[in-house]
Structure 1
Amino acid sequence: MNAPKLHHYVPQFHLRRFADVSGRLWAWDKQNDRIFQTSPGAVAAENQFYRLTQYEEEGNDPLAMEKQLSEMESEVSLITDQWLEWLQQMESLKKLPIPRINRWIVARYLAVQILRTLDTRELLSALVELERGAPISADEARELHTELMWDPCMVRGLTKRFMRSFWIFARNDSETPFVTSDNPVMFRSPDNRRWVKSIALVPGAYLVFIVSPRVVLYCHPRVGSFRELRKFADRLSPVVLDDSMVASENTGQVFMASRFVISNRSDFTAERTFAPTIGTDTYAPLLT
């Protein structure tokens, strides 16, 4: 069997949920302002992205991380497929049955997804280069990144935080689909006025994860005013999402994306309009 060369930093099962009826994705390259059609296997991926070159010379399997990620993705795909099936027919305020083991598997998946992206690798490399005052090689960047991903304290800390959060699901029945990106896990400030790159830098920030074009998951920490959300934990939100609310969530994918915003349709007008406002307060009133 040939070793996998193209390693995805966003799982293909997630990307496939955003494909159109032909099984293809539409992607907007926000760096070059270019829209193109592609497949779930050809985007958010790089050759040997997770190859453990630092252990290869010792005779260890250099693809151990890629294999572990694949196993985790298979579990999460099955769990969330079932969620999506239930949520499609579920009435508002009904509780989604989430066994503790499934909650842990998905919480760990969210933690790893934050750490595994190209955005994280580039940020880590930039910090090291700033400290050293010199650029680092691609091999060193890969080794630093994979060591971070394999840091049990880092993964465990994030996993516990997400497990303890109030999980609230919302269904999108509007005409506007949710989009995703090459850096799909988003964070919003407690006052809902801005997207942030890291929950560590903004106390009380909460996680937003678009599961499919029709479902979003919110993970609110059990602090401050969010404690009042306990009665909605693990339930389908009573809030009816309209087009403007969906468009607001989609701005987070534009903010988080390293490069590609991904959709099941070719119209990225709203995303292209929002992109130049990043770093300003233009849309702050709309995020409340």
Structure 2
Amino acid sequence: MAMSKKKGTTPPKKHHFVPVTYLKRFTDHNGQLHCFDRQSGIFTKTLPKAIMAVNKFYRQDWAPAGTDPNILEITLGQWLEPGAKNSLDRLIQSPTLLTEEDTCILVLYLEFQRIRVPRQVEMAKELIKDMIMRLGPQDIMSEVREGKFSLNMNNSVRFEYVKMAMGEFYPWFETMEWEVIEAENDAAFITSDSPLSLYNPEIPPPAEAGIGLAGTMVFFPLSSRYVLLMRHSGVRDRADFSNLLPLPDPLNSDTMISITHGAIWSADVVNNFNWKMLRLSERFIVAERLETLQACIEIDDLKGRIVERA
């Protein structure tokens, strides 16, 4: 795809791995996010454009002549993210009006959001390193282990991972049951730097389950008021299914996605969900209110004390 930047524009330097248009769904009435940094333990207020971004994260300096090295960031900003914004609005407000194009955009957007974040990229790098250490020439690998040489991954590995991972999730998404759930009044959802997360009751976070296990659910907060929850079709509430049962790979299907709407979660259920999102995040969680973050962290502290006593 050839794409040129508009005349007089400066190539973007900060590349968001969580889109600004998405983060705006969690801002307060002043357009700001309340943020908690898990590394420093500090609460701050910030604008969506100032968080969850890395300088030149999608820049491909090895792009061939005539191709903008920022083509991925430009394409995301000009096509996928604006299209997804409209489709997400319809998913929340009028799911019966979703078109086939909306569904395709949503599935692509959700899959890319899953694999684009630094947490997933770093996990992929570690897996690749581990594979090289196991399968590479053992005389050289021994010297790497002894510290005589280092094994480093360049930035192109990140893009190779994205290319490899694209297409792994959308067949599952298309066959799962989607449910849009609302938070009751005075409750609110958070989101994080890993907004699309996988959760299985048998695999406590921060570990993430594989999507092909029967009990694995997909979490994706849609806004402060709504969350998208995906479950595997046909296994919900079945006592004869283990949450760790591997499911067969989904078949390509043209059937419509099943979407339900109207359930409302109490504040306690929302706070417990937020705690899981906290545990599945890498560093940052954000919300429209400071109290929402504090309630989430209080649950984390309480569960931590319970574990220590056990």
Match in the other structure for 1:41: 49
Match in the other structure for 1:242: 266
Q: Which runs of 4+ in 1 moved over 6 A?
A: 277-281
**Cα distance, 1:157 vs structure 2:** 2.9
**Structure 1 pair 41–160 and aligned structure 2 pair: CA distance change class (3 A):** same
1:178 to 168, 181, 189: 189
**CA distance in structure 2 between the aligned counterparts of 1:21 and 1:145, rounded to whole angstroms:** 37
Alignment length (residue pairs): 263
Query: Do the aligned residues in 2 keep the contact of 1:84 with 1:215 (CA within 8 Å)?
Result: yes
**CA distance in structure 2 between the aligned counterparts of 1:168 and 1:156, rounded to whole angstroms:** 22
Match in the other structure for 2:224: 213
Q: TM-score, normalised by structure 2?
A: 0.76
**CA distance in structure 2 between the aligned counterparts of 1:281 and 1:156, rounded to whole angstroms:** 40
Query: Are residues 1:257 and 2:264 paired?
Result: no
Query: Are residues 1:79 and 2:87 paired?
Result: yes
The one-letter code sitting in structure 2 at the alignment partner of 1:233 is S
**Structure 1 pair 224–279 and aligned structure 2 pair: CA distance change class (3 A):** farther
Can you list the C-alpha shifts for 1:82-137, whole angstroms capped at 9, x where unaligned? 33344xxxxxxxx6332222112101111100100011122122233444454425
**Structure 1 pair 155–280 and aligned structure 2 pair: CA distance change class (3 A):** farther
**CA distance in structure 2 between the aligned counterparts of 1:193 and 1:278, rounded to whole angstroms:** 15
1:269 to 259, 273, 294: 294
The one-letter code sitting in structure 2 at the alignment partner of 1:256 is L
Query: Do the aligned residues in 2 keep the contact of 1:108 with 1:158 (CA within 8 Å)?
Result: no
Query: Structure 1 residues 121-130 or 244-253, which shifts more?
Result: 121-130
Unaligned segments of structure 2, at least 5 residues = 1-8, 134-143, 145-149, 240-256
Query: Are residues 1:24 and 2:32 paired?
Result: yes
Q: TM-score, normalised by structure 1?
A: 0.82
Alignment map for 1:50-129 (pairs within 5 Å): 50-56=58-64, 58-70=65-77, 71-86=79-94, 96-129=96-129
**CA distance in structure 1 between the aligned counterparts of 2:172 and 2:237, rounded to whole angstroms:** 14
The one-letter code sitting in structure 1 at the alignment partner of 2:100 is R
Unaligned segments of structure 1, at least 5 residues = 87-94, 283-288
**Structure 1 pair 277–62 and aligned structure 2 pair: CA distance change class (3 A):** farther
**CA distance in structure 2 between the aligned counterparts of 1:61 and 1:218, rounded to whole angstroms:** 37
**CA distance in structure 1 between the aligned counterparts of 2:304 and 2:258, rounded to whole angstroms:** 32
Give the secondary structure class of the aligned counterpart of 1:218. Answer: strand
**Structure 1 pair 65–169 and aligned structure 2 pair: CA distance change class (3 A):** same
Paired-residue identity, %: 22
Query: Do the aligned residues in 1 keep the contact of 2:178 with 2:231 (CA within 8 Å)?
Result: yes
Give the secondary structure class of the aligned counterpart of 1:156. Answer: coil
**CA distance in structure 2 between the aligned counterparts of 1:97 and 1:85, rounded to whole angstroms:** 9
